[in-house]
Amino acid sequence: MNEQMSGKAALQVVVGVLAATPVLVGVEGIVSGPEFLHVAAPWPVDLDSHFRFLSGFFLAIGLAWYSCIPSIETKTERFRLLAACTFAGGLARLVSLLLVGAPSLGHVAGLCIELLSVPALVWWQGHVVNKASGTGQFSGA
């Protein structure tokens, strides 16, 4: 396997592994509602509705990340849009941390992935695009 293919394949694997979290958590949130967070019922109906809506959005984002994996070097616009959505969610999570306090370890891990790993993935995908195009320079495409 040449260097270009190994970098692309590695990125595809990493995106596939990371996308599993929003898919699995999204499905569980849709099925379980706020109970997924080990909170005691009853909770307001509006909280349940909002939680399940956001879980559906989380599931959709995860599936959209998976749609980038085939031909990942040609999916720059979609990849960056998903990265921006994920990063924005991380910023919202950071606001919660600052205003309300530290969440559980799983949410802190999510915060780190959203604000640190996702920008690194954008850089990596740009590198794969450049290798595929033969430019060797970072592309804004």
Residue among 106, 84, 107 at smallest CA distance from 95: 107
- pTM of this prediction? 0.88
As a whole number of angstroms, the distance between CA 41 and CA 96 comes to 22
Q: Where are the domains of the chain?
A: 3-133
Confidence of residue 6 (pLDDT cuts 50, 70, 90): confident
Sequence-separated (6 or more) residues with CB below 8 Å from residue 64: 78, 82
Place of tokens 């879980």: 55
Q: What is the pLDDT of residues 61-102, one digit of tens each?
A: 999 999 999 999 999 999 999 999 999 999 999 999 999 999
